[in-house]
């Protein structure tokens, strides 16, 4: 599934001020990490504060690696635009939250319902994606595919040309330290994608 306009998600946001920077730079979505061993993982109150800093037209995404249905229920209680999950949880239909399922080189994709897939073997560690595998997945998918893994302001334009994803997702590639975004890098990343 190919699209001309590539969307941008700034992920691993831990502070409201970074959410505002991402939105002002032109990001389409802001992601927070919850119920994860990531150094960027924040609790429900902090996630709510990040989301509250955004205007009504910026998507709010929760990334979680939890295996707990109770944790997933706490995520859904925030009413995010989408939830990005690594485990084969069922998500209640009709809850108003889109489901993004994480896939890597090891395919096939999960058999469960997904509104989008995110090709990500990095999980915020800055490991570069596999271009051939990602492009193949984009070409075969019937739903939007988001590209993540090792993206930076310097390489994202070439990645978009090579893979043709629906959206790109960046975390460590725009950070000063885990969970703290560099405003100049955020702006440069969005400009590289949309410029």
Name the token pair of 150.
Answer: 């090792």
C-alpha dist (Å) from residue 120 to 45, 59, 123, 134: 27, 19, 6, 9
Contact present, 11 and 63 (Cβ < 8 Å): yes
CA end-to-end span of the chain, whole Å?
Answer: 22
CA distance 170 to 22: 11
CA distance 114 to 125: 24
Active site residue 11: yes
Cα 178 versus chain centre, distance? 15
Q: Which of 11, 28, 169, 171 is catalytic?
A: 11
Name the token pair of 79.
Answer: 């009413």
Name the token pair of 95.
Answer: 């809850």
Report the SS3 class of residue 162.
helix
Q: Which of 18, 28, 120, 169 is catalytic?
A: 120
- Please give the positions annotated as active site: 11, 120
């Amino acid at each position: 599934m190919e699209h001309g306009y590539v969307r941008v998600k700034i992920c691993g946001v831990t502070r409201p001020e970074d959410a505002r920077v991402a939105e002002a730079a032109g990001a389409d979505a802001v992601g927070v990490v919850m119920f994860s061993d990531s150094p960027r993982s924040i609790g429900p109150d902090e996630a709510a504060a990040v989301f509250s800093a955004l205007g009504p037209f910026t998507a709010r995404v929760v990334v979680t690696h939890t295996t707990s249905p109770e944790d997933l229920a706490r995520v859904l209680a925030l009413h995010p635009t989408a939830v990005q999950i690594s485990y084969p949880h069922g998500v209640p239909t009709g809850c108003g939250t889109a489901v993004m399922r994480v896939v890597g080189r090891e395919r096939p994709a999960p058999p469960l319902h997904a509104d989008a897939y995110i090709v990500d073997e990095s999980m915020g560690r800055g490991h570069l994606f596999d271009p051939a595998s990602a492009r193949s997945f984009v070409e075969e998918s019937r739903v939007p595919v988001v590209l993540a893994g090792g993206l930076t302001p310097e390489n994202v334009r070439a990645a978009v040309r090579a893979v043709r994803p629906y959206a790109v997702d960046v975390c460590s590639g725009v950070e000063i330290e885990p969970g703290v975004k560099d405003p100049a890098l955020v702006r440069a990343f969005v400009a590289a994608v949309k410029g």
